[in-house]
Amino acid sequence: MTPYELRFNIFQEAEALADRQYQSEYAAVAMWNENNSEKREYPKFPTFEYIKQLAENINNFVSSSSK
């Protein structure tokens, strides 16, 4: 696997993580709004910048050597 493929895989993992987080928060708000008169705002869909930051955090964690 080339370094480009590895970085893309890390980006895909970050995207999946952001999507799972969004889906979880969305479901919680939907359930709240369905059962309560006080409505909450739905979460914003993850932006490219947020996913990129997650990927950088994952890459830094994976790349750091534990001594």
For residue range 13-28, list pLDDT tens digits in order: 999 999 999 999 999 9
Determine contact, residues 51/14, Cβ cutoff 8 Å: yes
Contact 58, 10 (CB under 8 A): yes
pLDDT in tens, 21-58: 999 999 999 999 999 999 999 999 999 999 999 999 99
Burial class (CB in 10 A: 0-12, 13-18, 19+), 34: exposed
* Tokens, residue 16: 């999946």
Instruction: Quote the pLDDT of residue 66.
Output: 64
- Residue 67 banded pLDDT, cuts 50, 70, 90: low
- pTM for the full predicted model: 0.85
Q: Which structure tokens are listed for 67?
A: 């001594």
How many Cα atoms within 13 Å fall on the side-chain side of residue 40?
A: 15
